[in-house]
């Protein structure tokens, strides 16, 4: 019995995806064939919550609402270094 899983790019949302080897952890890596896509390769199920787009957005939202770095890290189950890195990225992108 074969089960087909529809894979879409988390960045651009298109389904023009091919397999692209394995990650160092042994997870299947995929390649988006859309040339305009910002993130070309991705892994579907990451174990690290700090790599998820929703968590990155929550980090920025919590900072705007006045939460501290350590508080945000504790609530979202990520490291304080991840919180600081994402806040630096969001600040850099807002200056453009």
The domain spanning residue 61 has which CATH number?
A: 1.10.10
In DSSP terms, which residues pair with 44 in a beta bridge? Answer: none
Say yes or no: 2 and 41 in one domain.
Answer: yes
Asked if residue 40 lies in contact with residue 32, where contact means CB atoms within 8 angstroms, the answer is yes
Number of domains composing the chain: 2
Say yes or no: 34 and 71 in one domain.
Answer: no
Say yes or no: 3 and 40 in one domain.
Answer: yes
Say yes or no: 41 and 55 in one domain.
Answer: no
32 is in which domain, residue-wise? Answer: 1-45
Distance between CA atoms of 75 and 81, rounded to whole angstroms?
14
Segment 16-65, tens digit of pLDDT = 899 999 988 888 899 999 888 887 888 887 677 777 788 889 999 999 99
In DSSP terms, which residues pair with 43 in a beta bridge? Answer: 29
Res. 68: pLDDT tops 90 = yes
Sequence-separated contacts (24+) of 34-40 with Cβ below 8 Å: 34/9, 36/12, 37/9, 37/11, 37/12, 38/11, 38/12, 39/9, 39/10, 39/11
More confidently predicted of 10 and 64: 64
Say yes or no: 37 and 59 in one domain.
Answer: no
Average pLDDT (76-85) is: 92
Specify the pLDDT at position 96.
60
């Amino acid at each position: 019995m074969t089960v087909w899983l529809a894979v879409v790019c988390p960045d651009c949302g298109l389904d023009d995806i091919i397999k692209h080897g394995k990650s160092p952890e042994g997870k299947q890596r995929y390649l988006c064939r859309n040339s305009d896509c910002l993130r070309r390769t991705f892994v579907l199920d990451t174990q690290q919550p700090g790599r998820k787009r929703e968590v990155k957005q929550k980090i920025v939202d919590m900072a705007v609402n006045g939460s501290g770095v350590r508080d945000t890290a504790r609530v979202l189950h990520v490291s304080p270094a991840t919180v600081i890195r994402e806040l630096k990225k969001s600040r850099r992108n807002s200056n453009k």
